[in-house]
Amino acid sequence: MQRKWWKEAVVYQVYPRSFMDSNGDGIGDLNGVTSRLDYLAELGVDVLWLSPIYRSPNDDFGYDVSDYRAIMDEFGTMEDFDRLLQEVHARGMKLVLDLVVNHTSDEHPWFVESRKSKDSPYRDYYIWRPGRDGREPNNWRSVFTRSAWEFDADTGEYFLHLFSKRQPDLNWHNPEVRERVYEMMTWWLDKGIDGFRMDVINAIAKAEGLPDAPHTDADGYGWGGVHFLNLPKTHDYLQEMNKRVLSKYDIMTVGETGGVTTADARLFAGADRHELNMVFQFEHVDLLDSGPGGKWDVKPWSLEDMKTIMSRWQNDLYDVAWNSLFFNNHDQPRALSRFGNDGPYRVPAAKMLATFLHLLQGTPFIYQGEEIGMTNVRFAQIDDYRDVEILNLWQERVIEGGEDQELWMQRIYAKGRDNARTPMQWSASENAGFTTGTPWIAVNPNYEEINVEAERSRPDSIYQYYRKLIRLRKEHPVVVYGKYDLILSEHQQIYAYTRTLGDACWLVVNNFFAEPAEFVLPEDLRGRVDAAQLMIANYFVDSTESVRQFALRPYECRVYSL
Ligand code: GLC
Ligand code: CA
| pLDDT higher than 90, residue 151 | yes
Predicted pLDDT of residue 145? 81
Residue 384 alpha carbon to ligand 2 centre in Å: 19
Ligand 1 pocket mutation pick from 163, 196, 257, 393 by most atoms within 8 angstroms of CB: 163
What tens digit of pLDDT does each residue of 300-356 get? 999 999 999 999 999 999 999 999 999 999 999 999 999 999 999 999 999 999 999
Q: Which atom of ligand 1 is nearest to the CA of 100?
A: 12
Catalytic residue among 21, 106, 194, 256: 256
What span, in angstroms and rounded, lies between the C-alpha atoms of 54 and 103?
A: 14
C-beta of residue 162 within 8 angstroms of C-beta of residue 205: no
Q: Under DSSP, is residue 419 helix (H, G, I), strand (E, B) or coil? A: helix
Identify the pLDDT of residue 317: 98
Q: Please report which ligand is nearest the Cα atom of 76.
A: 2
Mean pLDDT of 498-523: 97
Give pLDDT tens digits for 175-204.
999 999 999 999 999 999 999 999 999 999
Round to the nearest angstrom and report the end-to-end CA distance of the chain.
Answer: 22
Domains located in the chain, CATH noted: 5-103+175-380+424-464 (3.20.20.80), 109-160 (3.90.400.10), 381-421 (no CATH), 483-561 (2.60.40.1180)
Per-residue confidence (pLDDT) for residue 484, from 0 to 100 = 98
- The three-state DSSP-derived secondary structure of 70-131 is EECHHHCCHHHHHHHHHHHHHCCCEEEEEECCCECCCCCHHHHHHCCCCCCCCHHHECEECC
Reduced DSSP (H G I as helix, E B as strand, rest coil) percent helix, strand, coil of the chain, to 5? 35, 20, 45
Decide if 87 is catalytic. Answer: no
CA separation for the pair 532, 330 (Å, rounded): 39
pLDDT beyond 90 at 530 = no
CA 21 to centroid of ligand 2, rounded, Å: 4
Whether the CA torsion 393, 394, 400, 401 is positive or negative: it is positive
pLDDT in tens, 25-74: 999 999 999 999 999 999 999 999 999 999 999 999 999 999 999 999 99
Q: Which residues, in sequence order, are bridge partners of residue 517?
A: 552
**What DSSP state is assigned to residue 412?**
H
In this prediction, residue 1 has a pLDDT band, given cuts at 50, 70 and 90, of confident
pTM score: 0.97
- The atom of ligand 1 lying closest to the CA of 389 is 10
Instruction: Tell me if residue 199 is catalytic.
Output: yes
Beta-sheet strand order (sheet of 149-152): 128-129, 157-160, 149-152
